[in-house]
Structure 1
Amino acid sequence: MKLQFTKMHGIGNDFMVMRWPSGIGLPSQALVRRWADRRRGAGFDQLMLIEEDYQGPGDGAYRVFNADGNEVEQCGNGVRCVAQFLAAESGADRFKLMSASGAVEARILADGQVSVNLGEPNFVPAALPFEVKGEAATYDLRIGGRKVQFGAVSLGNPHVVISTDSVDEAPVGILGAEFQEHSAFARGVNVGFMEVQDAARIRLRVFERGVGETLACGTGAAAAVAVGRRWGLLGARVDVSLPGGVLEVSWQGSGSPLWLSGPTTWVYEGQIEYESTKE
Structure 2
Amino acid sequence: MHGLGSQLLLWEEGFCEGLAATGFRVVRYDQRDSGRSTILEEGTSYTLSDMALDAVGLLDYLEFADVHVVGLSLGGMTAQVLAAEHPQRCRSLVSMASHTGDRRFGRATDQARDAMGVAVPEDPVLAAKKNLADRRIWASVWHDDDHAGSVFAAYAERSVQPHHAWRRQARAAYDGGSREDLLATIRIPTLVLHGTSDTLITPSGGERTAAVIPEADLVLVNGWGHDLAPGAWPYLIDAISTHCHRADGTI
Please identify the structure whose Cα radius of gyration is greater: 1
Relative to its length, the structure with more strand (as a share) is: 1
Query: Of Structure 1 and Structure 2, which has the larger fraction of its residues in helix?
Result: 2
TM exceeds 0.5? Answer: no
Which TM-score applies when normalising by structure 2? 0.31
